[in-house]
Amino acid sequence: MPLLRFDLLEGRSATEVKALLDAVHEVLVEVFGVPLRDRYQIVHQHKTEHFLVQDTGLGLDRSKNVVVLQVVTRPRSKDQKLAFYRQLCHQLKMKCGLNPQDLIVSLVQNTDEDWSFGLGEAQFVTGALGGDHSSRGTKSSV
Amino acid sequence: MPLLRFDLLEGRSATEVKALLDAVHEVLVEVFGVPLRDRYQIVHQHKTEHFLVQDTGLGLDRSKNVVVLQVVTRPRSKDQKLAFYRQLCHQLKMKCGLNPQDLIVSLVQNTDEDWSFGLGEAQFVTGALGGDHSSRGTKSSV
Amino acid sequence: MPLLRFDLLEGRSATEVKALLDAVHEVLVEVFGVPLRDRYQIVHQHKTEHFLVQDTGLGLDRSKNVVVLQVVTRPRSKDQKLAFYRQLCHQLKMKCGLNPQDLIVSLVQNTDEDWSFGLGEAQFVTGALGGDHSSRGTKSSV
């Protein structure tokens, strides 16, 4: 369920984008306990003049690899969110060589009735999809 | 007022996009009771490597026609939301031939004071725009 | 912290876009009291068939210069929001010649724990970033 929007500068190859999306999805599955196929990822690549990212005075260096990730999700606990940022940072460094200074995440929450995955149904309301669990890839865990 | 963002794969013609936007707007007007000219629609078309949509284990087949629709709106009742998904699915099948397996909707709610439609004013706060009604196309219904 | 997404029609030069982004950021700093380097701005330019903006029956004329601005932010007071719309309208007219009828703003709120600015940390939670102030450009004000 979480719907993810990635904003990047132009220049990543399809292979690089795939590695990024795969790594982020693995963290989602692990930390939020969503099913393996609960994957909704959208990428926008921008010219430099259309993508302006500074550092809020934190002294971070942003490079041309900077990633802004927006996530819309049902409510997650504070612990889950903090673990998500931490794991994301770690895994993207390991798997994509992303500098931890180049990762910005912003979450927005909605609720069960705010999702329809197809067929005109709200699957969290009808019961076709259940609540959150921490097990990996169970179909009832979204 | 609702602000709609459509994410699609590349390849739809302007005519096809128009048919999609028109059909979605008609459902909004009918189900949410917004005015006829309460229309704010943004479309992004993506290369396949930038748009990854799976099925949360629901066994849905997504085709190249898949539509991801994000809606930001003032609060709507659960009944309105469920009717919106249902009607959207029905109308897009009828009018655009969209397979019900190819429609994903995600809503995010905000409030009256979160909108300015022009002139630097918050029209729901000033009273220039009123609350929600179910009548079609009345100016007081947004 | 606020994350801003600008949707525009194709055709603005890099210089015109920069003037727009600069002017909006100055208003954010002034009205929301965010630090000077608390700047996260994303621009999408669209073909006319992918960007449909009407007027909710308010009798506003939208031109090819119309700007739709989506802002995700931690909670702001109603007064701050109203001042933001008002000042934005004023400044964009002054600095970019934008007609007040061509500015649409939509806000979405999230919370402290919904932001990570880098390093896998949630800087509002760890205390690396503090609360909101109205002073201009202080690093503790985000």
Residue-wise pLDDT for C25-60, tens only, equals 999 999 999 999 999 999 999 999 999 999 999 999
User: What CATH number is attached to the domain comprising B68?
Assistant: 3.30.429.10
Residues 56-75 of B with CB under 8 A from C: 72
In a domain, C10, yes or no: yes
pLDDT value, residue C139: 39
Upper half-sphere CA count for residue A119 (Cβ side, 13 Å): 10
- The pLDDT of residue B132 is 53
In a domain, B48, yes or no: yes
Tens place of pLDDT per residue across chain B (142 aa): 899 999 999 999 999 999 999 999 999 999 999 999 999 999 999 999 999 999 999 999 999 999 999 999 999 999 999 999 999 999 999 999 999 999 999 999 999 999 999 999 999 999 999 865 443 333 344 4
Flag whether A135 is in a domain.
Answer: no
Cβ–Cβ gap B72/C70 under 8 Å: yes
Overall size of chain B counted in residues: 142
Tell whether C29 is covered by a domain: yes
Boundaries of domain holding A80: 3-126
Decide: A107 and C109 in contact? Cβ < 8 Å.
no
> Subunits with at least 3 CB pairs below 8 A relative to chain C?
A, B
- Kindly indicate the confidence band of residue C132, based on its pLDDT and cuts at 50, 70 and 90: low
CA C46, chain centre distance (Å): 18
Average pLDDT over residues A66-82: 98
Residue B38 burial (10 A CB sphere; 0-12, 13-18, 19+): buried
**What is the model's pLDDT at position A14?**
98
Tell me what pLDDT residue A132 has.
53
| Percent above pLDDT 90 for chain A | 90
Percent of chain A with pLDDT over 70: 92
Number of domains making up chain A = 1
Nearest in space to C17 (alpha carbons), one of B41, A48, A85 = A48
**Is the pLDDT assigned to residue C129 strictly greater than 60?**
yes
Confirm or reject contact between B44 and chain C (CB < 8 A). yes
Q: How far is C59 from chain A (nearest CA, A)?
A: 31
B39 touching C (Cβ < 8 Å):
yes
pLDDT of residue A130: 84
C85 and B CB contact within 8 Å: yes
Let me know if residue A119 belongs to a domain.
yes
Of C56, C88, C108, the CB nearest to B37: C56
Q: Would you state the pLDDT for residue B1?
A: 83
For residue C50, give the nearest of B66, B4, A48, B98 by alpha carbon: B4
Taking 50 as the threshold, does the pLDDT of residue A141 lie above it? no
Count CB pairs under 8 A between chains B and C: 113
> In the 8-state DSSP scheme, what is residue A10?
T
For the entire predicted model, the pTM comes to 0.93
* pLDDT score at C141: 44
Residue A71 to chain C, least CA–CA distance (Å): 9
CA distance B48 to B6: 15
pLDDT at A2 over 50: yes
Instruction: Report if residue B131 sits inside a domain.
Output: no
In a domain, A141, yes or no: no
Residue A98 C-alpha from the chain's centroid: 15
Distances (CA, A) of B72 to A36, B10, B101, B110, C109: 27, 24, 22, 7, 11
Nearest to A86 among C21, C120, C128 (CB): C120
For C68-82, the pLDDT digits (tens) are 999 999 999 999 999
Phi and psi, residue C90, nearest 5°: -65, -50
Q: What pLDDT score was predicted for residue C134?
A: 40
Report the mean per-residue pLDDT for chain C.
93
User: Which pLDDT does position B22 carry in this prediction?
Assistant: 98
What angle is formed at CA A18 by the lines to CA A17 and CA A22, rounded to 5 degrees? 120
Q: Which residue has the higher pLDDT, B80 or C1?
A: B80
Those residues with Cβ within 8 angstroms of residue A77's Cβ, 6 or more apart along the chain or in another chain:
none
Does residue B135 belong to any structural domain of this protein?
no
